[in-house]
Amino acid sequence: MVILTLNCGSSSVKYQVYDWDQKNVLANGIVERVTLGDSVINHKAPGIGDFTQEHECPTHTVAIELILKTITDPKHGVVKNMSMIGAVGHRMVHGGMKFARSVLINDESLATFKELIDLAPLHNPANIMGVEAARHVLPNVPHCAVMDTAWHQSMPESSYMYALPREWYDKYQVRRYGFHGTSFLYTAKRAAVLLGKDPFQTNLIIAHIGNGSSINAVKNGCSFDTSMGLTPLEGLVMGTRSGDIDPGIIFHMMKRGGLHAGEVEKKLNKESGVLGLTEHWADRRDIENAAAEGNKAAQLAQEIEGYRIKKYIGSYYAALGHVDALVFTAGVGEMGPVTRKLATAGLEELGIVVDQDKNAKAKCRNAELDITAKGSKVKVYVIPTDEELVMTEDAFALMNGTYDVHSKYRYQFQDPSYVNKQREAGLVTDLQKKPYLSELIARPPKA
C-alpha cells in the first residue's frame, strides 16, 4: 500500500510517496509557482532519477493532478496506478483548540478548519485549498489532517494563557498554540530512543531552526511550553519574522511611521528577522558567507539570532528543572554549526557543553549526530526531522482504525532498530565524502 502526503502552500505543493509495506520512501518532490504562472514540478525518485517538467498549474487541483500523473508515469513514476494509494495525509498548520490529534477529513472537520482561518490567515487557506483539490481528484481515498498545533495541546494553562483580558480568550480564542508540532513529535521520540529512556520520563529542549523557527520545552515526553504563540510570529528571530518584540513598537510605527495594520503585519512577517537586520539576506548560508567576509550586519544578525535561542534555552531549562538533552533540528538546526555555536556558548554552568570540533563537522541530513562534549551533563544532538513520516504513520493508522494520541500510540521510529532506508542510502554517499561523520553518529545504548 502507498501513502501520499501533501503539504500545500499558497503557491506550492510538496509531496511524498511512501511504500507502507516496504517501509520506504518511493519519491518526493514539489510543484512550484502554483497559480502564479511558469509552474514547474521537481520530482525525485531514488533508483529512478530526478525529473523536472514545466506545466502550468492555475489551481491546486491541477497541481495535484500533475503530481498523480508524475508518480504513475511509466518512465518517471513509482506506482502503477492510483488504486495503489491507500490514504492521503495533509499538513494543516492550525487546529486551534478543536484538535489535539490528527483526524480524518470529512465535511464537518473541513468546515471547522475554515472557521479557524482567522487564526492562521497565511497558512490554513492554502492547506484547505490543497485538501479540497485532493478530495476532488481522489474522492474514494481517506484523507487525514495532521496539525502543527496538536502536539502542543498538552501545555498547561500557565504556559498557553496570555496576561490579556479574559474576554479575548473566551470570545476570540487568543492564547498560545505553538507550531512545528509534527517536527517536535518526531525529534522528541527519536531523542528518547537515543537516550535509551522511556519518552514519558524524558525532558528535552528542542530547537527547530529554519526560515521559520521555534523552540519547545518537553516535560515527561509532552509539550510543556513553546516559543511561537497565537501565530508563528512570536518567539525566535527567524528568516523574515521578527519574533519577540515590544508590542508598543507596533503603535509607535502606526503613529510615527503612518503605517496601517496590514503594512505592520507585512513588515513583521516578511521584512524582519535576519532579512530586516541585514537588508539583503534571509538564507543563513548567505549570511554565514557574508559574515565570514567581514560584513558587520551579517555578523550582528548571527549574534542576535543565536542570543535569542540561548535565552530561550536558559528559560526552558529553568522551567523544566532537569534536561536530558538539547536537540537541534530543521534546516539551520541540522546544517548550521555557527548558529548552534552561538546558541550554546556560555551554557557550561547549566551542564550543556558542546564539542566545537564535532559541531563544526556536524552537517548531515542523513544521520543523527552527537555533538556533546566529554563531561557534559546534558546530551546535545542534531536530529534531522521527518515530518512526512509522522504524517504518513498518522494517515495509515487513521485509515486502519489504530490511531490514538501520541501518549497512547507507538510510532515505528520509536523502535531502537528503526532505519530510514532513504537516509541510510544517502549516508553511504555522505561517508564517502566526509568519513569523519562516522565518529559523530548517535546510536541508542545497547540493551
Rounded to 5 degrees, φ, ψ at 208 are -95, 100
430 is catalytic: no
**Residues in the chain, how many?**
447
First to last CA, the chain: 33
Predicted pLDDT of residue 174: 95
Non-local CB neighbours of 252 within 8 Å, separated by 6+ positions: none
The CATH classification number of 2-147 equals 3.30.420.40
CATH superfamily membership of 195-384: ATPase, nucleotide binding domain (3.30.420.40)
Record the cell numbers describing residue 394, joined without a space: 498518522
Non-local CB neighbours of 204 within 8 Å, separated by 6+ positions: 188, 191, 216, 217, 218, 323, 324, 325, 326, 327
Q: What residues pair up with 49 in beta bridges, in sequence order? A: 45
User: What span, in angstroms and rounded, lies between the C-alpha atoms of 401 and 332?
Assistant: 37
Q: Could you check whether 2-147 and 195-384 share the same CATH topology?
A: yes
Instruction: Dump the DSSP string for 205-256.
Output: EEEE-SSS-EEEEEETTEEEEES--SSTTSSS--SS---S--THHHHHHHHH
Predicted pLDDT of residue 385: 95
Give the gyration radius of the chain's Cα atoms. Answer: 22
Predicted pLDDT of residue 447: 64
Record the cell numbers describing residue 416, joined without a space: 531502537
Per the listing, cell 499558497 goes with 10
User: What span, in angstroms and rounded, lies between the C-alpha atoms of 223 and 204?
Assistant: 9
Record the cell numbers describing residue 146, joined without a space: 495532521
Predicted pLDDT of residue 134: 87
Q: Strand order in 40-45's β-sheet?
A: 49-54, 40-45, 24-32, 12-19, 2-8, 85-92, 143-147, 103-104
Q: What residues pair up with 25 in beta bridges, in sequence order? A: 18
User: What span, in angstroms and rounded, lies between the C-alpha atoms of 125 and 121?
Assistant: 7
**Backbone torsion region of residue 401, taken as left when φ is above 0, otherwise alpha when ψ lies between -120 and 50, otherwise beta:** left
Predicted pLDDT of residue 307: 98
Nearest alpha-carbon partner for 383 in 349, 413, 356: 413
Check 19, 21, 50, 148 and give the catalytic one. Answer: 148
Predicted pLDDT of residue 154: 95
Per-residue pLDDT of the chain (447 residues; tens, 9 = 90+): 899 999 887 778 899 999 999 999 999 999 988 888 889 999 999 888 899 999 999 988 899 899 999 999 999 899 988 889 999 999 988 888 888 899 999 999 999 999 888 887 777 888 888 888 889 888 999 999 999 999 999 999 999 999 999 999 999 999 999 999 999 999 999 999 999 999 999 999 999 999 899 999 999 999 999 999 999 999 999 999 999 999 999 999 999 999 999 999 999 999 999 999 999 988 899 999 999 999 999 999 999 999 999 999 999 999 999 999 999 999 999 999 999 999 999 999 999 999 999 999 999 999 999 999 999 999 999 999 999 999 999 999 999 999 999 999 999 999 999 999 889 999 999 999 999 999 999 999 986
Non-local CB neighbours of 345 within 8 Å, separated by 6+ positions: 306, 310
Record the cell numbers describing residue 393, joined without a space: 504513520
Query: How wide is the angle at C-alpha 191 spanned by C-alphas 318 and 146, nearest 5°?
Result: 95
- Domain-by-domain residue ranges, the chain? 2-147, 195-384
User: What span, in angstroms and rounded, lies between the C-alpha atoms of 439 and 428?
Assistant: 14
Q: What number of helices (H) and strands (E) belong to the chain?
A: 16, 14
Q: What is the largest CA-CA distance in the chain?
A: 64
Q: What residues pair up with 50 in beta bridges, in sequence order? A: 44
